[in-house]
Amino acid sequence: MSASPHTIRIANATDAAAVSHLLELSYRVLLPAFYEETVMAQILPLISRANPLLLNSGMFYVATAGRGNIVGCGGWSIRAPKIGVKMNSQGNIRHFATHPDWLRQGIGAGILRRCLTEAKAQNMERMNCHSALGAELFYGACGFSAIKRIDVPITSKFSFPATLMCNDLG
């Protein structure tokens, strides 16, 4: 853990390797308390890769600290995850992670605030989130409400247990 401040900036394609590393580390450390080992073994290789479309969207952010090390990431999209359908007035929170050594320092909340502010500026009325089970408390503390348990399809043969959460931006 470091006392140095962090900054948030728009991500780009050159961040792919560092974002993938952060996703893998964060999820490998933080999710096993909520998912069985067999689920983790199947899901981790699939969810810990930076999404090039998100990285280049202008709506995905990284938090950097120290000498530019990426310690957090996350973003939003107008299109629904996986199916790519644009949802009128609804956005979607996407691919959040914080380095385990940087938890509870406002990094995820800062990125999420930026996402919500920008979504509202683009006339989004609601933000949806497919929250990992271990992230429900974080999103709840940031104004999201749990709607229901869901299974997020990752491949044609595998789904990831999650919670559908939403935040009305009105």
82 pLDDT exceeds 60? no
pLDDT value for 4: 52
With respect to residue 146, please indicate whether it lies within any of the assigned structural domains. no
**Could you tell me if residue 164 is left (phi over 0), alpha (psi between -120 and 50 degrees) or otherwise beta?**
beta
The number of distinct structural domains making up the chain is: 1
CATH of the domain at 106: 3.40.630.30
Per residue in 144-164, pLDDT tens?
Answer: 999 999 998 877 888 889 999
Range among 36-45, 87-96, 113-122 rated most confident: 113-122
1 pLDDT exceeds 50? no
With respect to residue 167, please indicate whether it lies within any of the assigned structural domains. no
With respect to residue 141, please indicate whether it lies within any of the assigned structural domains. no
Unique residue bearing structure tokens 């409400």: 145
With respect to residue 164, please indicate whether it lies within any of the assigned structural domains. no
Residue 104 to residue 154: CA distance in whole angstroms: 29
Over residues 29-47, the mean pLDDT reads 92
Cα→Cα distances 114→2, 11, 121, 131, Å: 22, 13, 11, 18
CA angle 86, 130, 87 (to 5 degrees): 15
Q: What is the mean pLDDT of the chain?
A: 91
Higher pLDDT among residues 1 and 77, named by residue: 77
Going by C-alpha positions, the residue among 22, 20, 15 that lies closest to residue 107 is 22
With respect to residue 23, please indicate whether it lies within any of the assigned structural domains. yes
Q: Residue 70: which H helix or E strand, with range?
A: strand 69-77
With respect to residue 59, please indicate whether it lies within any of the assigned structural domains. yes
With respect to residue 17, please indicate whether it lies within any of the assigned structural domains. yes
With respect to residue 68, please indicate whether it lies within any of the assigned structural domains. yes
pLDDT value for 89: 87
The range of the structural domain enclosing residue 105 comes to 6-126
Over residues 1-24, the mean pLDDT reads 88
pLDDT value for 2: 45
